[in-house]
Amino acid sequence: MTKKILYCATVDYHFKAFHLPYMKWFKEQGWDVDVAAAGNINLPYTDNQYNIPIERSPFSKSNIEAYNQLKKVISQNNYSIIHCHTPLGGVLARLAAKQTRKQGTKVIYTAHGFHFCKGAPLINWLIYYPIEKFLSRYTDSLITINREDYNIAIRHRFKAERTEQINGVGVDTVRFKPIDENKRAELKKSFGYNADDFLLFNAAEFNKNKNQQFLLRSLALLKEEVPNAKLLLAGEGALFESCQELANSLGISHMVDFLGFRKDIDQLLPMCDIAVSSSFREGLPVNIMEAMACGLPVVAVDNRGHRELVQNNKTGWLLTEFEPKLFANKILALSNAVDMKHQLGQNGRNAIIAKYSTNKVLAEKEIIYRSYMEEEGEPVWAAH
């Protein structure tokens, strides 16, 4: 009988963005791959897609129906492994799999950044911490993607059978790569910029956590010193229009491009000069890893995920305070130092290749997966 794995998350785009290489790997091993999430986009490497009405809010009533539907999907299929992602996907899948887990199904949960962490609001600890700790007892493998989350799980004695750390979801370092200066100038012109424009890039949902307002206020301090600076903001979200209004009020609307949702990040990044980020909380941010893979130095405010990736004076700078002037000064320094910008960017790409490429992360995940892929009653890894 063909073995099956179920991937579960809040929304199906999560899999398209982060997990296709691993779903492909399972198909290559001869497994069936099912997906349960809200949405019905066309996903490759998938045998069955279940549109489950999971909502991000833990207080949404529709999650009760989502739980019932998910439990039915799990009970009707003989899954060997269930791998769940995102906070609500992880909550509902582990609750729905309680019974089948007793029959041998292995449940893996990847925490893409606990909502409770150093510096997080108290309310996050009061709501999310007890939920995650309670559900850890229904988890065979808890995977964290940064050292701080791993340490929290160990120090607070989460009850998962195993707790592991891997280096994120992986970056395609062939798709995301640097280009030479001539190509960069051509690419800038093709997107409507001047060859000497100094392009800052940030890709993120427009929400309170991502804090694009800080980037706008920092940019406003550079109107005179770096008049050729342009801030490219890719993404959509609830605060999109308010950020546009802020740019207007700061008098920098001519220096900011609100790009909306983009599918061509791999084309936009290589032509840019630096990556910037000012989010309050990150797990291990893919947007920063993709920028580093393209040879961009990073200027970011210190948080758990940024701290894992960015090394001061080696791949960029981390600022410990949300102080726009300090942030603007780092951008100014890079605008005046071509050689330093290039060296920081090269160091960043080397770091991504060494630890965070898709191939590296697949190798880490394969060890975990194979420990649960039983063949004639014995784990596959035991026979290798």
- At residue 262, the pLDDT reads 94
Which pTM value belongs to this model?
Answer: 0.90
Phi-psi map region of 260: left, alpha, beta (phi>0 left; psi -120 to 50 alpha): left
Q: How confident is the model at residue 382 (pLDDT cuts 50, 70, 90)?
A: very low
Contact 75, 99 (CB under 8 A): yes
Contact 260, 226 (CB under 8 A): no
Domain ranges in the chain are 4-170+358-383, 181-355
- At residue 65, the pLDDT reads 95
Rounded mean pLDDT of 219-232? Answer: 97
pLDDT for residue 376 is more than 80: no
CATH 3.90.1150.10, applies to 181-355: no
CATH, domain 4-170+358-383, list 3.40.640.10, 3.40.50.10950, 3.40.50.2000, 3.30.365.10? 3.40.50.2000
What's the sign of the alpha-carbon dihedral 360, 170, 34, 162?
Answer: positive
Question: In the predicted model, what is the mean pLDDT of the chain?
Answer: 94
Which tens digits make up the pLDDT trace of 258-281? 999 999 999 999 999 999 999 999
- At residue 252, the pLDDT reads 98
CATH topology agreement for domains 4-170+358-383 and 181-355: yes
Phi-psi map region of 59: left, alpha, beta (phi>0 left; psi -120 to 50 alpha): alpha
Which tens digits make up the pLDDT trace of 327-360? 999 999 999 999 999 999 999 999 999 999 999 9
Q: At what angle do helices 87-96 and 122-135 cross, to 10 degrees?
A: 30
d(CA 114, CA 120) in angstroms, rounded, equals 10
- At residue 57, the pLDDT reads 81
Q: How confident is the model at residue 189 (pLDDT cuts 50, 70, 90)?
A: very high
- At residue 287, the pLDDT reads 96
Percent helix, percent strand, percent coil in the chain, to nearest 5: 45, 20, 35
- At residue 377, the pLDDT reads 42
The DSSP symbol for 79 reads: -
- At residue 384, the pLDDT reads 32
Which tens digits make up the pLDDT trace of 233-261? 999 999 999 999 999 999 999 999 999 99
